[in-house]
Structure 1
Amino acid sequence: MTIDETRENVASHRIADSLRSSILGGELLPGERIRQEDLADRFGASRIPVREALRVLQADGLVTLVANSGAWVSRLTMAECIEAYQIRERVEPLLLRTSMPNLTETDVAALQTMADLMERDDSVDLFMRTDREFHLATYAGAPPSMLSTFIRRLWNTTQHYRRAYSQLVRAPSIGVTHMEHHLLVDCIRRQDADDAERVLVMHIQRTRLELQKHPEIFE
């Protein structure tokens, strides 16, 4: 790899990381246009690393690229979002079951700390970051696979809508969410995969059912 190619590779990772944070953090909203020339100016880069960064984010489910047209932050219709949640209800319990035997006492303690933090702090931003970290950590014991990659992509594409849900249910329903987090930690600690699957299905399903009540989120 030449020096120029190395620089472009570093630049594409830097651009992708920054855009990923902006999208997942809610700074860039679904359907928002991403202009390649603006990114090139902002990062002092050529179009090549910008295009590569956008292709990476497209693979992550965060960006939609349209040939000869441009790039946009990915968005879902209500039907697509509901379908994504129905898929999650079926496949995430499988990944959790695969992961659980490999989670250590240290891992469980970290999950407990995250569950406690979410319950103590009422910030939506903190909840969104920690909730994502919490659930992905419950899957971290599973070996890398097509399933884990697929689930991470589903989490990416539904991130905005989970944020909207979190803003809708701050009280009193958020208490049920916290309870479910604690139940998941307890199931993992006891290595009870059957209970863990049931709690997780209920946890994901509640979000889907709440989102179905609010079509305005998808307008």
Structure 2
Amino acid sequence: MVITADAGYRDNVVSHRIAESLRTAILDGSYRPGERIRQEDVAARSGASRIPVREALRMLAAEGLVTLVANSGAWVTRLTMAECAELYLIRERLEPLLLRSSMPRLGEAEIGRLAELTEAMEAAGTDVDAFLRADREFHLSSYAGAAPGETWQIIHRMWNTTQHYRREFTQRAARAGAGNGASGGAGAGGGLGVTHLEHRLLLDCVRRQDADDAERVLVTHIRRTRLELEKHPEIFAP
């Protein structure tokens, strides 16, 4: 009985380790949307059996990063343009609510970290990976003061599912900014200047505890990405 418990504990630890490795690879773009994740390959790389690999994939499916198909396998979640637009529309409505709930509970340390992340995003220049890491932490940290619940879980899942498409938006914006010799301009057509400004405005709203302004800025921030992505149907091609 003890051996079984120990074996179960080891499998659980290995499952979490494998899930973390795959999660990082999916979020940083090493796996593409629609790419198959073969259990046997993951098991071989990790030196584990397929049991913890299957459990790791179930974890990632619950997080929105992987789509499991019965008797077939696992694929990195891929969205159609309509699905992506729908998720962004939901985000436009839910994230401002979560930010409003979070803001009163963000202290000086948390706001200071948001300021550091704002600087980090601007300093990233055309380094898309650095920008995306700071951007993700900035937004999710701004919601961290809200009580854990369904809204936070839904938003976190949608951030995972739309990660690839934010990367596409950011890459286009970074290239446009580099082509113009500056980061100014609007949307992906003119670099990340407006994105940086919106982050600055959000930070100012949090500092002033102005939830109404914060909601307006955040809605515009999310909507602008959605509208830009809708101009590029090729992003969603299989």
Q: What's the TM-score bracket when you normalise by the shorter of the two chains?
A: over 0.9
Q: CA deviation at 1:173?
A: 3.4
- Summarize the alignment of residues 25-174 of structure 1 with structure 2, pairs less than 5 Å apart: 25-122=28-125, 123-170=127-174, 171=177, 172-174=190-192
Out of 164, 179, 182, the position equivalent to 2:197 is 179
Distance 2:11 2:59 in 1: 14
1:98-133 residue CA offsets vs partner (Å, 9 max, x unmatched): 000000011111101110111122110000110000
What is the Cα-based RMSD across aligned positions, in Å?
Answer: 0.8
Query: SS of the residue aligned with 1:71?
Result: strand
Which blocks of at least 5 consecutive residues in structure 2 are unaligned? Answer: 178-189
1:6-59: CA deviations, max 9, x gaps?
110011000000000000000000000100111111111111101100000000
Letter in 2 for 1:104: G
Aligned counterparts of 1:87 and 1:161: Cα–Cα separation in 2: 16
Say which structure, 1 or 2, has more relative contact order (CA 8 Å, 6+ apart).
Answer: 1
Aligned partner of 1:11 in structure 2 is 14
TM-superposition CA deviations, 1:181-209 (whole Å, max 9, x none)? 00000000000000000000000000000
SS state at 1:64 partner: strand
Query: Mind listing any 5+ residue stretches in structure 1 that lack a counterpart?
Result: none
Distance 1:168 1:201 in 2: 21
Alignment correspondent of 1:21:
24
**Partner Cα separation in structure 2 for residue 106 and residue 56 of structure 1:** 31
- Which deviations, in whole Å up to 9, do the C-alpha atoms of 1:53-85 show, x marking residues without a partner? 000000000000000111100000000000000
Using the size of structure 2 for normalisation, the TM-score is 0.91
How many Å separate the matches in 2 of 1:113 and 1:140? 16
Task: Give the Cα separation in 1 of the matches to 2:138 and 2:117.
Answer: 6
Please give the secondary structure, in 2, of the residue aligned with 1:79. helix
Whole-Å Cα distance in 1 between the matches of residues 124 and 40 of structure 2? 39
Return the alpha-carbon distance in structure 1 between the equivalents of residues 19 and 135 of structure 2: 22
CA distance in 2, matches of 1:93, 1:38: 41
Deviates more, 1:40-49 or 1:201-210: 40-49
Matched, 1:214 2:218: no
TM superposition outliers: structure 1 runs of 4+ over 2 Å: none
Aligned residue identity for 1:146 = E
